[in-house]
Amino acid sequence: MQATTTNKTQTMQAWKQAHPDWPIWIHTEHSPSGWGWNTVAARLQDASLLLTSPTFDMSDSAHVELKQVGLPRFILVSNHYHTLGVDEFVSRYRSIQVLCSEVAKHRLTHKLQSPLQHLDAAQEYLPQELRILEPAGTKTGEVWVELQKENASAWIVADAFFNLLQHPSGLMNLPARLTQVTPGLQLGKTFRWFAIRDRTAYKHWFERAVTRATPTLLVPAHGNVLQDAELARRLLTLVHARL
C-alpha cells in the first residue's frame, strides 16, 4: 500500500494497480486476524470498469478514488459465496449490472436483491484482450477474468487459489492451517470440498486453460498479487497435487 505525505498529513491510497503493465486495480480489506479480501477492478473497452468480489462498507473516499480509475459498469459475482458488497455497490452505482454464471444463479437469487444478468451481457464492452472464463465442473459457479497482453496473461480468480503470505492469527489460525489455504500460493481444501462438483471435468478444463494462457500474473480474491514467470507450472502442480 503506497502512502503520500502532504502538510504532515498522511493519506493512504485505497486502490492500487496490481502491476504497472496491467489495467487491474485492487482495494484490500483486512480483518484483525490478517485475513484479506480483494475487490478487483479491470478496465473495459470504453474505460468503464468490471468489478469482482466487491467488499462491503467501503469508504466514501475509496469510492472517490475508484471513480478516478473508471466508472463501475459491471459486477461479476465470481461465485455464489462472494456476495457481501454486491447490493451495496448497486445502491451506489444505479446503472451497474450484476453478472453471474448459470451455475451460481439459483443460489444468488436468494442471497441478492439485485437483478442478475448472464455473463454475455458484458460482451460488447469487453476489450479484445479480456475474457470471462467459466471453469467446468464447479458447483459454486466460479468465474474468472483473463487479460492477455502480447505473450503474457493475467488471471483474476475467486476461491480457486489463495496467496496470503502468513497464517492468520486468532481463531482463524487453525482452520487456515488445516484447510491448507495459507501460507503463500495455495489451492485450499475448501475449494475441493465446497466448490468442485466434477473433479475430472475441472482438471481437464484447467489443464487446457493454463496451457493456452500460460498466466504470469495471479490476482486472487484473498491474498497478495503474484507475478511469476513459472506461475502456470506452479498452478498446474497445485491442481494435480490437491485435486
Q: What is the pLDDT of residues 41-77, one digit of tens each?
A: 999 999 999 999 999 999 999 999 999 999 999 999 9
CA distance 151 to 158: 24
Residue 26 contacts residue 38 (beta carbons within 8 Å): yes
- Reduced to 3 states (helix: H, G, I; strand: E, B; else coil), residue 17 is strand
Q: Which residues of the chain have pLDDT under 70?
A: 1-12
What confidence score (pLDDT) does residue 150 get? 86
What confidence score (pLDDT) does residue 1 get? 34
Give the burial class of 150: count Cβ atoms within 10 A of its Cβ; 0-12 exposed, 13-18 middle, 19 or more buried. exposed
Residue 47 contacts residue 33 (beta carbons within 8 Å): no
CA distance 56 to 38: 11
CA distance 82 to 204: 25
Residue listed under C-alpha cell 467459466: 134
Domain extents for the chain? Answer: 12-242
Question: pTM for this structure?
Answer: 0.94
CA distance 2 to 19: 13
Order the strands of the 130-133 sheet from edge to edge.
130-133, 144-149, 152-156, 217-219, 226-227
What confidence score (pLDDT) does residue 9 get? 34
What confidence score (pLDDT) does residue 12 get? 62
Looking at domain 12-242, which of 3.60.15.10, 3.30.1490.20, 3.40.1280.10, 3.30.1330.10 is its CATH number? Answer: 3.60.15.10
Residue 157 contacts residue 40 (beta carbons within 8 Å): no
Residue 39 contacts residue 17 (beta carbons within 8 Å): no
Residue in 20, 25, 52, 27 with CA at minimum distance from that of residue 152: 20
